A and B are shown apart, each in its own frame.
Chain A
Amino acid sequence: GAVVSQHPSRVICKSGTSVKIECRSLDFQATTMFWYRQFPKQSLMLMATSNEGSKATYEQGVEKDKFLINHASLTLSTLTVTSAHPEDSSFYICSARGSSHGTDYGYTFGSGTRLTVV
């Protein structure tokens, strides 16, 4: 089946620094990538949607200048949290929508990145 590889799985950074999270689709082309954020005991909240080669579309309340998304190829999307603050500490999960050889893989989730800003 389809796999989305997400790295790093866990990162601790200092307040004011930037952190990059990568998601790679293995064996299929991710035409659309979704980025979610999940706070403890809360649901997954969609942050933004990106299509390969296009600018990302951000959900209301999500700062596009703080959460930079790049989807330069059909197999790689990155989320950069710029000038991170403790309130950005959360579980970030990517989800790819794509297909390969005519097989639709639906929504495939990465394994998540636990970000802690100290």
Chain B
Amino acid sequence: QKEVEQNSGPLSVPEGAIASLNCTYSDRVSQSFFWYRQYSGKSPELIMSIYSNGDKEDGRFTAQLNKASQYVSLLIRDSQPSDSATYLCAVGGNMYSGGGADGLTFGKGTHLIIQP
């Protein structure tokens, strides 16, 4: 059974600070990793995807992947009140080699609150 674990929170961060979200996964052969933002009652919105070990930066967001530790994280710099949402970590197979035909395994999400 594939599992993705996240701290459910809530994680409260002051506006302008760095929010750090963490995720661990159980399936060692996982190849693709995603962070989604989900507002209440809405569908998930893709924030970042990462496939290789190391860091990947996109604007205020940085995703970090460590396959040896089976660990993925998301850093949000200069946090804004609009960043308040639930952040879902999702894990999948190799998207370009058959694994893309598999669905994603999601964590339960971390509820992030940015305090003005």
Contact = CB atoms under 8 A, between A and B. Distances in A.
Contacts of B17: none
B25 to A, nearest CB: 13
A6 B42 CA distance: 12
Contacts of A29: none
Interface majority SS (helix, strand, loop, mixed), chain A: strand
Contact of A111 (B42, B100, B106, B108): B42
Given A32-B100, A106-B95, A46 B105 contact: yes
A44 B43 CA distance: 10
Contacts of A6: 43
Interface range on chain A (Cβ under 8 Å from partner): 20 to 34
Interface residues of B, number: 24
B9 to A, nearest CB: 11
B43 A111 contact: yes
A77 interface: no
Contacts of A110: 43
A81 B88 CA distance: 26
A59 to B, nearest CB: 8
A70 interface: no
A43 B87 CA distance: 11
Interface of A: 6, 32, 34, 36, 41-46, 49, 51, 91, 93, 95, 97, 104, 106-107, 109-112, 114
